[in-house]
C-alpha cells in the first residue's frame, strides 16, 4: 500500500486490495501525524484483555443476560478464529455476516479480524436480493446467520443463496443450525490459528447506502478505521467507564464507529446490545445497565424524547446521546436535552469515511442547528458548485472530502470510482452542505439519487429494477416524499403497459417484497400515472440509463 504510485493512479487498483488506496505521500503523512499507528483490531483486543482481563466488555441482555469480560471475548475470538481457519477460511476471504444485535456478532467479527478474513456487513433486514448479491459479488466463502430473527428463517435464505453461489462453502448459524453448521461448534485450539493481517490491510467491507442498482462495498483498513474510532472517542469523551447501548443494527457504520461499539471496546468500556430500540424495551436496559451513552437516528430520537418524560425507568445515568444518519430538525433537537436530561451531540457521517460531530463544548445554538465538524484536522472538505468550483464562504455546495479515514475508491468498482471520486481522490458524497462562520457544517440537502428514510438509505434504482420486472409495469420512478416522522418516505410512480390490468398498490408492494428485498425498501406509496411528473425524473430517461446498467444484465 505504501508503495502505490501517485496520480494519475489514484484510480488504479492495488493488487490484493481490490480498490484504489491512499497515495504513498498521503499514507506517509497520516502515519507521521500519528493518525495511523499500526494497530489491528485483533491486536487491540489482545492488549485490552491483557490490561484489564476481568472488566466487562460486552453484555447481551436477552433472552437471558450474558456477559463477556475482555479476557473471555479475547479467548472466544481466538478459539473461533482457529475453528474458522481449520475449515479453510483464511486471510482475505470474504464472509457475509448477517446477525442482529447479539454477542456472537462481536465474537465473529473479532475472530475474522484475527485471521484477516473480511466481514461483509449485511443488515438483518436484507433478503435474497441483497444477500445473493453480496455473496456472489464478493465470492464469499461463508455466510453467518441467526436461525430465526423477527419471524424470518435465515437458514432457509442461506440454503437458497448457497444453491446459487458456487463460492459459498459454509453457512454458520447462531442457534439451531438446521441443515447447516452451528457457530457454537466452530472452535479449535488457538495455537493452530494463522498469522493475522497487517495494519494497512483491509479489515472489512462496509456497505454504502447507495444510489445505484446494487449497493457498493466500502473497503476499510485497520489503520484508517481505528483512527476514526480514536478520534471519535476523544470527541465524545469515551473511556473505560463508558457504558454504551447499541440501539441501531450493530452492522451499521454509525453504531459501529461513531463512537460505536468498536470505539467503546477500543477504550476499554462496556458495550450493551439492545435487542430492540424502542423505549419500552430500551429504557429498562438504560436503567438496569446504567447506560451512559448511546446513538440513534432522528425518528427514534423523536420517540425517545416523547416517551422519556412519561417513563418510570431511571434514565439518570445517561450522559450523552448522539443523533445522526439523517437530518435532525432544529425543533426536535431543542427538545432532546430537556426531555432526556443529558447532552445532545449531532453526528453527520458516512460509511465511506468522513464523520462530523458537534463538540461537547460547542455553544447550544451550534449543537441544535449544525451537523458538526470533521473528526480530524487532516479531513479535507470542499464545497463546490456544479462545475466543481469552490463556492464562496457560507454558501452551499456539493460536499467533497478526502482524508485519513475516507476511502479512495469502492471495492472492485472501477467505473463507479470514476464517477464517485475526483481525479485527486476526493469522494463525492452527494450531500449539499454549507459551512458556518464557526466552521461547522449544515446539511442542506442532497444531490444524489437516494431516499433517506429516517437514516435507512434506499437507492431508487434498486427498487425501480424490481418494479420493472412486474409484467404490468412499463416504467417506474421511485422518489422521496416528505414525511413528518421519517423525514422522507418513498413513492413509486408507475406507468402501466398498454392494455395491462392495473395491479392494486398492495399487490405491487407484495410483488416487491416477494422478490426478496429488505422491507424498508418497499415503496411506502404507489401512484399510477400516464407519464412521470417533472420532479420525479431528470432530463435523461432513467429507463434508458437502467437498460444499460450492469444491474439490468442480471435480471
Ligand atoms: P451511508 O451511505 O448509509 O453511509 O449514509 C451516509 C449519508 O447519510 C450521508 O452522505 C448523508 O446523506 C446522510 N446523513 C448521515 N448523517 C446525517 C445527518 N446528521 N444529517 C443529514 N444527513 C445525514
Ligand atoms: O448515515 C450514516 O452512514 C452515518 C451517520 C452517522 C455514519 O456512517 C456514521 C455516523 O458513522
- Model confidence over 143-172: pLDDT tens digits? 999 999 999 999 999 999 999 999 999 999
- Helix, strand, or coil here: 190? helix
60-92 pLDDT, tens per residue? Answer: 999 999 999 999 999 999 999 999 999 999 999
The reply to whether ligand 1 has any atom less than 6 angstroms from the CB of 523 is: no
* Omega before residue 121 within 30° of 0, cis: no
Closest C-alpha to ligand 2, atom 11: 254
Please state, for a pLDDT cut of 90, what percent of the chain lies above it. Answer: 90
pLDDT score recorded for residue 534: 61
pLDDT at 412 over 50: yes
Q: Which residue has the cell 432532546?
A: 336
pLDDT score recorded for residue 313: 98
* Omega before residue 550 within 30° of 0, cis: no
Atom of ligand 2 nearest to the CA of 348: 6
DSSP 198-227: -TTSEEEEEEP--SSSS--EEEEEHHHHHH
Class of the CATH domain delimited by 450-554: alpha beta
> What separation in angstroms does the CA of 81 have from each of 27, 41, 73, 143, 285?
29, 13, 12, 15, 31
Instruction: Report the candidate in 81, 115, 57, 72 with the shortest Cα–Cα distance to residue 183.
Output: 81
The reply to whether ligand 1 has any atom less than 6 angstroms from the CB of 428 is: no
pLDDT at 535 over 80: no
CA 517 from centroid of its chain's CA atoms:
17
Integer-rounded Cα radius of gyration of the chain? 23
Answer whether 283's CB lies under 8 Å from 313's CB: yes
Ligand lying nearest the CA atom of residue 263: 2
User: How far is residue 332's CA from residue 329's CA, in Å, rounded to a whole number?
Assistant: 5
pLDDT score recorded for residue 14: 54
| Local structure of residue 3 (DSSP, 8 states) | T
- Helix, strand, or coil here: 550? helix
Atom of ligand 1 nearest to the CA of 254: 4
Q: Ligand 2 mean position to 209 CA, how many Å?
A: 10
482-531 pLDDT, tens per residue? Answer: 999 999 999 999 999 999 999 999 999 999 999 999 999 999 999 999 98
Kind and range of the H or E run holding 269: none
Q: Which residue has the cell 439451531?
A: 176
Q: Ligand 2 mean position to 491 CA, how many Å?
A: 24
Answer whether 171's CB lies under 8 Å from 165's CB: no
Q: What's the whole-number mean pLDDT along residues 99-120?
A: 98
**Site to substitute for ligand 1 among 356, 357, 430, 452, most atoms within 8 A of C-beta:** 452
CA 277 from centroid of its chain's CA atoms:
17
Q: Ligand 2 mean position to 429 CA, how many Å?
A: 12
**Site to substitute for ligand 2 among 355, 399, 407, most atoms within 8 A of C-beta:** 355
pLDDT score recorded for residue 17: 83
288-345 pLDDT, tens per residue? Answer: 999 999 999 999 999 999 999 999 999 999 999 999 999 999 999 999 999 999 999 9
- Helix, strand, or coil here: 502? coil
Contacts of 365 (CB under 8 A, 6+ apart): none
Instruction: List where CATH 3.40.50.12780 sits in the chain.
Output: 11-435
Closest C-alpha to ligand 1, atom 15: 325
Beta bridge partners of 526: 492
Q: Which residue has the cell 490484493?
A: 16
**Site to substitute for ligand 1 among 257, 374, 431, most atoms within 8 A of C-beta:** 431
Is residue 519 classed exposed, middle or buried when 0-12, 13-18 and 19+ CB atoms within 10 A define those classes? middle
pLDDT score recorded for residue 533: 72
pLDDT score recorded for residue 12: 45
Q: Ligand 2 mean position to 350 CA, how many Å?
A: 4
Helix 330-340 / helix 298-307 crossing angle, nearest 10 deg:
40
Helices and strands (H and E) in the chain: how many: 18, 27
Pairing outcome for strands 56-60 and 66-69: antiparallel
Question: Residue 203 has which C-alpha cell?
Answer: 479489515
Alpha-helical (H) ranges within 267-378 are 279-289, 298-307, 330-340, 364-369
Instruction: List where CATH 3.30.300.30 sits in the chain.
Output: 450-554
Closest C-alpha to ligand 1, atom 5: 350
Between 240 and 191, the more confident residue is 240
Answer whether 117's CB lies under 8 Å from 94's CB: yes
179-223 pLDDT, tens per residue? Answer: 999 999 999 999 877 788 999 999 999 999 878 888 999 999 999
pLDDT at 548 over 60: no
Atom of ligand 1 nearest to the CA of 457: 3
- When pLDDT is cut at 50, 70 and 90, the band that residue 549 belongs to is very low
333-373 pLDDT, tens per residue? Answer: 999 999 999 999 999 999 999 999 999 999 999 999 999 99
Residue range 11-435 in CATH 3.40.50.12780: yes
| Local structure of residue 256 (DSSP, 8 states) | H
Answer whether 372's CB lies under 8 Å from 346's CB: yes
Answer whether 268's CB lies under 8 Å from 295's CB: no
pLDDT score recorded for residue 16: 66
pLDDT mean across residues, the chain = 93
Closest C-alpha to ligand 2, atom 1: 325
* Omega before residue 139 within 30° of 0, cis: no
Q: What's the whole-number mean pLDDT along residues 7-30?
A: 75
The reply to whether ligand 1 has any atom less than 6 angstroms from the CB of 446 is: yes
Q: What is the pTM of this model?
A: 0.94
33-65 pLDDT, tens per residue? Answer: 999 999 999 999 999 999 999 999 999 999 999
pLDDT score recorded for residue 257: 98
Closest C-alpha to ligand 2, atom 6: 349
Ligand lying nearest the CA atom of residue 260: 2
Q: Ligand 2 mean position to 64 CA, how many Å?
A: 30
Residues with CB under 6 A from ligand 2: 253-254, 257-258, 324-325, 347, 349-351, 355, 455
Closest C-alpha to ligand 1, atom 3: 209
Q: Ligand 2 mean position to 535 CA, how many Å?
A: 28
Closest C-alpha to ligand 1, atom 7: 350
The reply to whether ligand 1 has any atom less than 6 angstroms from the CB of 109 is: no
The reply to whether ligand 1 has any atom less than 6 angstroms from the CB of 457 is: yes
User: How far is residue 550's CA from residue 552's CA, in Å, rounded to a whole number?
Assistant: 5
pLDDT score recorded for residue 150: 96
User: How far is residue 516's CA from residue 154's CA, in Å, rounded to a whole number?
Assistant: 12
Is residue 237 classed exposed, middle or buried when 0-12, 13-18 and 19+ CB atoms within 10 A define those classes? middle
Answer whether 428's CB lies under 8 Å from 400's CB: yes
**Site to substitute for ligand 1 among 125, 205, 209, most atoms within 8 A of C-beta:** 209
Please state, for a pLDDT cut of 70, what percent of the chain lies above it. Answer: 93
pLDDT score recorded for residue 539: 45
Answer whether 236's CB lies under 8 Å from 293's CB: yes
DSSP 112-138: HHHHT-EEEE--TT--HHHHHHHHHHT
Amino acid at each position: 500500500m505504501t508503495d502505490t504510485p501517485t496520480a494519475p493512479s489514484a484510480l488504479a487498483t492495488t493488487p490484493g486490495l481490490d480498490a484504489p488506496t491512499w497515495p504513498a505521500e498521503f499514507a506517509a503523512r497520516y502515519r507521521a501525524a500519528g493518525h495511523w499507528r499500526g494497530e489491528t483490531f485483533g491486536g487491540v483486543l489482545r492488549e485490552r484483555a491483557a490490561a484489564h482481563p476481568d472488566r466487562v466488555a460486552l453484555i447481551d441482555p436477552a433472552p437471558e443476560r450474558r456477559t463477556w469480560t475482555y479476557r473471555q471475548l479475547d479467548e472466544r475470538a481466538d478459539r473461533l478464529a482457529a475453528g474458522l481457519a481449520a475449515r479453510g477460511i483464511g486471510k482475505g476471504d470474504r464472509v457475509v455476516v448477517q446477525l442482529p444485535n447479539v454477542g456472537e456478532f462481536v465474537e465473529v467479527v473479532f475472530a475474522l479480524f484475527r485471521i484477516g478474513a473480511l466481514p461483509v456487513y449485511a443488515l438483518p433486514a436484507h433478503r435474497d436480493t441483497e444477500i445473493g448479491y453480496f455473496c456472489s459479488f464478493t465470492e464469499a466463502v461463508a455466510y453467518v446467520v441467526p436461525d430465526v430473527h423477527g419471524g424470518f428463517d435465515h437458514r432457509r435464505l442461506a440454503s437458497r443463496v448457497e444453491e446459487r453461489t458456487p463460492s459459498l462453502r459454509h453457512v454458520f448459524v447462531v442457534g439451531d443450525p438446521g441443515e447447516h453448521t452451528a457457530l457454537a461448534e466452530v472452535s479449535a485450539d488457538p495455537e493452530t490459528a494463522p498469522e493475522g493481517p497487517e495494519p494497512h490491510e483491509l479489515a472489512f467491507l462496509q456497505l454504502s447506502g447507495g444510489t445505484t442498482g446494487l449497493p457498493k462495498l466500502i473497503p476499510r483498513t485497520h489503520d484508517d478505521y481505528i483512527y476514526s474510532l480514536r478520534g471519535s472517542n476523544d470527541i465524545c469523551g469515551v473511556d473505560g467507564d463508558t457504558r454504551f447501548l447499541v440501539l441501531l443494527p450493530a452492522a451499521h457504520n454509525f453504531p459501529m464507529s461513531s463512537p460505536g461499539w468498536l470505539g467503546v471496546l477500543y477504550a476499554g468500556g462496556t458495550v450493551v446490545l439492545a435487542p430492540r430500540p424502542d423505549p419500552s424495551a430500551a429504557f429498562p436496559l438504560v436503567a438496569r445497565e446504567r447506560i451512559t451513552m448511546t446513538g440513534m437516528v432522528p425518528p427514534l430520537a423523536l420517540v425517545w424524547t416523547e416517551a422519556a418524560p412519561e417513563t418510570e425507568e431511571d434514565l439518570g445515568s445517561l450522559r450523552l446521546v448522539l443523533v445522526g444518519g439523517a437530518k435532525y430538525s432544529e425543533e426536535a433537537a431543542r427538545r432532546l436535552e430537556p426531555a432526556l436530561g443529558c447532552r445532545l451531540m449531532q453526528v453527520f457521517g458516512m460509511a465511506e469515511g468522513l464523520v462530523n460531530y458537534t463538540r461537547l463544548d460547542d455553544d447550544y445554538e451550534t449543537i441544535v442547528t449544525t451537523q458538526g465538524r470533521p473528526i480530524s484536522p487532516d479531513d479535507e472538505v470542499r464545497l463546490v458548485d456544479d462545475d466543481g468550483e469552490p463556492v464562496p464562504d457560507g454558501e452551499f455546495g456539493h460536499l467533497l472530502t478526502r482524508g485519513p479515514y475516507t476511502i479512495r475508491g469502492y471495492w472492485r468498482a472501477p467505473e463507479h470510482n470514476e464517477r464517485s471520486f475526483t481525479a485527486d481522490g476526493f469522494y463525492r458524497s452527494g450531500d449539499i452542505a454549507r459551512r458556518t462562520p464557526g466552521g461547522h457544517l449544515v446539511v442542506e440537502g442532497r444531490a444524489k439519487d437516494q431516499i433517506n428514510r429516517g437514516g435507512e438509505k434506499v437507492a431508487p434504482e434498486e427498487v425501480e429494477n424490481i418494479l420493472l420486472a412486474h409484467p404490468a409495469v412499463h416504467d417506474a420512478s421511485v422518489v422521496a416524499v416528505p414525511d413528518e416522522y421519517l423525514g422522507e418516505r418513498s413513492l413509486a410512480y408507475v406507468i402501466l403497459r398498454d392494455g395491462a390490468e392495473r395491479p392494486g398498490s398492495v399487490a405491487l408492494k407484495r410483488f416487491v417484497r416477494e422478490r426478496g428485498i429488505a422491507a424498508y425498501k418497499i415503496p411506502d406509496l404507489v401512484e399510477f400515472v400516464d407519464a412521470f411528473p417533472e420532479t420525479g425524473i431528470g432530463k435523461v430517461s432513467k429507463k434508458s440509463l437502467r437498460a444499460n446498467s450492469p444491474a439490468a444484465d442480471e435480471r
